[in-house]
Amino acid sequence: MKIIIKNGLVVDPANNINEILDILVEDDKIVNVGKNLKNNAATIIDATNRVVIPGIVDMHVHLREPGREDKETVASGTNAALKGGVTSVLAMPNTNPPIDSRESIQILNKIIKNTAHANVFICGAITKQRQGKELSDISGLKQQGAIAISDDGNSVDNAQLFLEALKIAKRENILVICHCEDVSLSAKGVVNLGITSTRMGLRGISRESEYTRLSRDAELAQRAKTPIHIAHISCRESVEIIAAAKKRGINITCETAPHYFSLTEEAVWGYDTNFKVNPPLRSRDDVESIKQALKSDVIDAIASDHAPHTDNEKDIEFIRAEFGTIGLETTLAVCITELIHTGLLDWSTLIRKLCLNPSKILGIKKGTLSVGSDADIIVVSPNQEWLVDKNSFVSKSKNSMFLGKTLKGVVDYTILGGKISYQRPLERKNPNEVSCEPRARKTC
């Protein structure tokens, strides 16, 4: 199959490209990027007034399979991903069973092989059952294809054990991803500690619980000379610690999630549990700091922390509700709305955070539009507004923090491995020319 994507603003920071160009795709690869490309056999996608970027690499996704197929499956999660322009995800290991052994990763590999609609990479667990007591079979996980390890949802409290894990990770050449939380400091909290916990009458999660563990992890990574990646940072102090660590030459990278730069703690004051996340939504000052860190490149990546939960687990008393928001279908639009339309970031910088940097951090060959690379490409209408509606989600779960919000930026096409895997419902004029209308119409 051949596709030409014509006249779109091609943004490919890996090659310093940011101009109106055409892209020719043949089979599963990008074979040409340039002006006025022609190929009679190709399907034409008119990308005029649209942005053409690499498929998003979301390095923090909970697909819930195996074990919690009522929340999400590999199939439903990857379908949601395609709709959101995400072509590659890193699946976190807090499943049931957790991905902590050869046996469990083999189960997941099989599910992915049979049901995934997008590229799924696997993050294994650092410790057995993610309990922080005993290391999992890290080399076995690596051999079975895991590209990272993390006890996500938990930090490895035992510093000696964590140091041991770092040393093995270095030997095995596998990335360590840290969920930084000292539970003795977060102390059963459910919202940001401060005016929010005080006025809501709820236990607070302190900033210290995040950044003191981050400091420890960075120190240990330096000692073990092992690269680490910090998941979902949310506060000013974390930004400062990472900036300082980078300056000292520590091999550290980090991500934040869209909700940490688009919403403040005030969003949770009405006890809507969709705003209950861990780490919690923080203060205005923290949000400002996260934004500046995106601009200054202290924060390398944006990842959704897509955390699906059923209504039964969310639509209950605040203290009992699960932490987490879904994000695969809103990440790009939140980024465009909050970072591009506000002028905070340019397209190249955003695409580095969403596509190129996550690929580099994970060591996968994704996130670029280079000739010869995998044809994972998305075509986006950056000014198109849409209302985030519960019924519009492809994900099995609907627990989005952005419900009811109007966002800008819609994915028109997701091309995965050279195939049009998602197309925004619209009217097709003739079989060879697929044209996007400003407003989505009937499914073609």
Partner 1 sequence: MIEWTRKHLLSLEELTREEIELILDNTASFKEVLTREVKKVPALRGKTVVNLFYEPSTRTRVSFEIAAKRLSADVINIAAETSSARKGETLFDTGRNIEALKADIIVLRHSASGAAAMLSRHVNISVVNAGDGWHEHPTQALLDIFTLKEKFGRIEGLEVAIVGDIAHSRVARSNIWGLSKLKAKVIVCAPKSLIPAEIEQMGVSVVTDDIDVAIANADAINVLRMQFERDEADMFPEQLDYFKKYGITQERLEKAKKKIVVMHPGPINRGIEISSEVADGSQSVILDQVTNGIAVRMAVLFLVAQGAKKRR
271 binds partner 1 (CB under 8 A): yes
159 binds partner 1 (CB under 8 A): no
**Residue 293: CB minimum distance to partner 1, A:** 24
One of 22, 217, 305, 412 is an active-site residue; which one? 305
**Residue 134: CB minimum distance to partner 1, A:** 30
319 binds partner 1 (CB under 8 A): yes
264 binds partner 1 (CB under 8 A): no
Give every strand in the sheet of 228-230, ordered side by side.
56-61, 86-91, 119-124, 148-149, 175-178, 228-230, 252-256, 301-302
Report whether 58 contacts 90 (CB < 8 A): yes
Only one of the segments 13-21, 236-244, 314-322, 339-347 lies at the binding site for partner 1 (rule: CB under 8 A); that segment is: 314-322
Number of CB atoms found within 10 A of residue 284's CB: 10
390 binds partner 1 (CB under 8 A): no
194 binds partner 1 (CB under 8 A): yes
**Residue 282: CB minimum distance to partner 1, A:** 13
184 binds partner 1 (CB under 8 A): no
Active site residue 305: yes
Indicate the residue among 325 and 357 with the shorter CB distance to partner 1: 325
Contact pick of 77, 84, 124, 204 for partner 1 (by CB under 8 A):
204
316 binds partner 1 (CB under 8 A): yes
Cα three-residue angle 130-354-122, rounded to 5 degrees:
30
278 binds partner 1 (CB under 8 A): no
Rounded CA-CA distance 383/271 in Å is 32
Closest CA to 126 of 99, 102, 106: 99
What SS3 class is residue 58? strand
- Residue 324, CA distances (Å) to 172, 227, 397 in order: 31, 27, 11
Contact pick of 57, 63, 200, 345 for partner 1 (by CB under 8 A):
200
Largest CA distance in the chain: 66
Pairing state between β 43-46 and 433-434: parallel
Report whether 22 contacts 33 (CB < 8 A): yes
320 binds partner 1 (CB under 8 A): yes
Indicate the residue among 204 and 324 with the shorter CB distance to partner 1: 204
Footprint of partner 1 (CB under 8 A): 193-195, 197-202, 204, 270-271, 315-320
Catalytic residues: 305
